[in-house]
Amino acid sequence: MTRVVVVGAGPAGLAAAAHAVRAGADVTLLDQSAAPGGQFHRLPPGAPHGFEAILSRCSWWPESTVWAVAGKRLHVLRGPADGAGRERHVLEPDALVLATGAHDRTLPFPGWQLPGVYTAGAAQALAKGERVAVGRRVVVAGAGPFLLPVAESLLAVGARVLAVLEANPASTVRKGWSWRDARKAGELARYAAALARHRVPYHLGRAVVEARGDDRVRAVVTARLRADWSVVPGTERTYEADAVCVGHGFAPRPELAVAAGCALDGGFVRVGDDQRTSVPGVFAAGELTGIGGAVAAAAEGAVAGCAAAGGVPGRALLRERDRLRGFAARLAAAHPVGAAWPGWLREDTIVCRCEETTAGELTRAARDPAAPGPHALKLGTRAGLGPCQGRLCGAAVSALCGTAERHHRPIAQPIRLGELAEVKENDA
């Protein structure tokens, strides 16, 4: 029987596990969280998640962190991340499916380091998972349809959403949203009804360009943007707010794939028609291979799980995956990141929050002929050397300095020195 390990129990990983089991494989499903579902299916602690059927047919490893990969060989720590006594395990399956998802992409702006500035994903996670509102008067801003469920989640936990701001103009957004997908049209109508019921204005071509306050966010400045995201002078408006949630799309989490040796295209893992990566026996699915949302991720996971188990994905499965990939491509065209966003920044605007590297330091370093490469620029400015290792600031630093984003991060997950020194490693 083929042994398959799936890393990540979000929509892609769950679908991969289900289809690998269906194809006859012995499946182990890992996730860092205590419950399956990923961010998309996040629920309050103890709430029924609805995935019991698939978990009963495979080995389910919650609270499991993969901290190193070499080919298909995984080094795993099992146990609560903040607890003592985590167990070290080594897994070496016949096939590996990586479904590690994505995290928020957020562009810097003056004041974005203030308490009260949240990523859109963090705000939604607190609302859905903990029933906590990040503020009483909140502005939601950025680019992409994800802003709508974030606003809906905030309204559901009692926050007053002052406005939802999509940075792209209507002419750009219309490129993707042609109402050809009935399911998405219904979802959009539901969000529109929620905003209308709570009298939340939705503005296109407008963005948060500054957060103001001494100890925390007290006000938010917005401005109208041109199609390239340059600010139209004189259009600034100030909201009195105690929180702002910003999201400018998503960035994949390719660390494990890079460690495994998988080739990337534009930061995403390159896959073949059956989700096979450039490394034999390693498959990838979901946001790791392109940002397309939960339904597209599940379709890719289904193909990857079937192929990883040694099966041949059916034509209907491949057609559905391709159809959803097409929708994702239209969505990307509808909600791009405009090239002129650096115009929002000031000399002293912090870009790398871990190391407090400013926009001025980065642009001066980029112009210095003695430090032309991204590696020298990183060492010289310390941008990307902090705890997040450039996960949050990498794309912004690259855009400001005209360099390629570095995806190689030797530390995939933090591990205690005592755990690293532990000699006992259990085969499973």
CA distance 10 to 297: 9
pLDDT of residue 28: 97
Helix (H, G, I), strand (E, B) or coil at 302: helix
pLDDT of residue 72: 87
The DSSP symbol for 218 reads: -
Per-residue pLDDT tens listing for the chain (428 residues):
899 999 999 999 999 999 999 999 999 999 999 888 888 888 777 777 889 999 999 999 999 999 999 888 999 999 988 888 888 999 999 999 999 999 999 999 999 999 999 999 999 999 988 899 999 999 999 999 999 999 999 999 999 999 999 999 999 998 776 656 666 777 888 898 999 999 999 999 999 999 999 999 999 999 999 999 999 999 999 999 999 999 999 999 999 999 999 999 988 999 999 999 999 999 999 999 999 889 999 999 999 999 999 999 999 999 999 998 888 888 888 999 999 999 999 999 999 999 999 999 999 998 888 766 777 888 889 998 888 888 889 899 999 988 878 777 777 788 888 888 876 777 66
Inter-residue contact 22 to 47 (CB < 8 Å)? no
Q: Which residues pair with 68 in a beta bridge?
A: 75
Q: Is 402 left (phi over 0), alpha (psi -120 to 50) or beta?
A: left
Inter-residue contact 198 to 182 (CB < 8 Å)? no
Alpha-carbon distances, residue 384 vs 176, 212, 405 (angstroms): 33, 25, 10
- How many other CB atoms sit within 10 Å of the CB of residue 317? 17
What type of residue sits at position 236? E
Inter-residue contact 331 to 370 (CB < 8 Å)? no
First to last CA, the chain: 15
Structure tokens at 107: 């562009």
Its pTM stands at: 0.91
- How many other CB atoms sit within 10 Å of the CB of residue 108? 24
CA distance 405 to 145: 25
